[in-house]
Amino acid sequence: MRVDYANAGPGGAAFAAVDLEPEHLAGGWLPLLRQWLAEAVAAEVPEPNAMVLGTVDEDGRPVTRTVLCKDIDADGVTFFTNYDSNKGRQLAAVPYASATFAWLPVHRQVTVRGPVMRVSAEETAEYWHTRPRGSRLGAWASRQSQPIESRAALEHAMVEAGDRFGVDKDIPVPPFWGGLRISPESVEFWQGRADRLHNRVLTRLVDGRWSTVRLQP
């Protein structure tokens, strides 16, 4: 299997027309990341805010899974999870992560690396109340990452959560659930090109200042 990166695929030709250059990050990593995310949405890339999150386990071995980015601002990249899940516990032990947005149909990806910290309770609550009721009940029902004997047992836990809160009662934020933010120390932008001569531009913090370079593919 081999993909031709000579163009950006259906609807993506405009994205491939301009080569990625270090100058495109003159305004910092945030404007370009937001632009690329918006263009992935416009190109109807499936789950454009999905990112592969990498952590390390208790043995120092890498672990990855896909999560949904819920906010990108000057402070970093934010996602939400059960703090008692595998990733939650791993990030509590080693609060550093790598996350990659892979927008394959338009031949782009961005990797963000940096320290991780919890967002404020107010920020978690603000996002929590935008979630569908079923998603809020699911957060209470699931002991994320823990074994369970069957699908039926999981569905029963969901029914119990529904009974607990009823149809009209507000569902509070679980004490074990909330936001985590990656504060970038490095951000790499990648653009697919023909003959594997891809464009790679890396910006990273060096002595408190951002330094941007082109990398060989």
Instruction: Tell me the per-residue pLDDT of 78-106, one tens digit each, with 9 for 90 and over.
Output: 999 999 999 999 999 999 999 999 999 99
Question: Does 202 belong to an annotated binding site?
Answer: no
Does residue 152 lie within any of the structural domains?
no
Does residue 25 lie within any of the structural domains?
yes
* pTM strictly above 0.85: yes
Question: Does 198 belong to an annotated binding site?
Answer: yes
Helices (H) and strands (E) in the chain, counts: 6, 10
Instruction: Tell me the per-residue pLDDT of 112-165, one tens digit each, with 9 for 90 and over.
Output: 999 999 999 999 999 999 999 999 999 999 999 999 999 999 999 999 999 999
Does residue 24 lie within any of the structural domains?
yes
The catalytic residue positions are 196
Does residue 8 lie within any of the structural domains?
no
Average pLDDT of every residue of the chain: 93
Does residue 126 lie within any of the structural domains?
no
- pLDDT over threshold 80, residue 51: yes
Does residue 98 lie within any of the structural domains?
yes
The total domain count for the chain is 1
Question: Does 167 belong to an annotated binding site?
Answer: no
- pLDDT over threshold 90, residue 67: yes
Does residue 55 lie within any of the structural domains?
yes
Domain that holds residue 208: 13-121+176-215
Closest listed residue to residue 162, CA positions, set 134, 143, 142: 134
- Tokens 């004490």 belong to residue: 175
Query: Which residues are registered as beta bridge partners of 99?
Result: 53, 112
What CATH number does residue 71 fall under?
2.30.110.10
Does residue 129 lie within any of the structural domains?
no
7 Cβ contact list (under 8 Å, min separation 6): 13, 16
Q: How high is the pLDDT of residue 44?
A: 96
Task: Round to whole Å and give the CA distance between 144 and 14.
Answer: 41
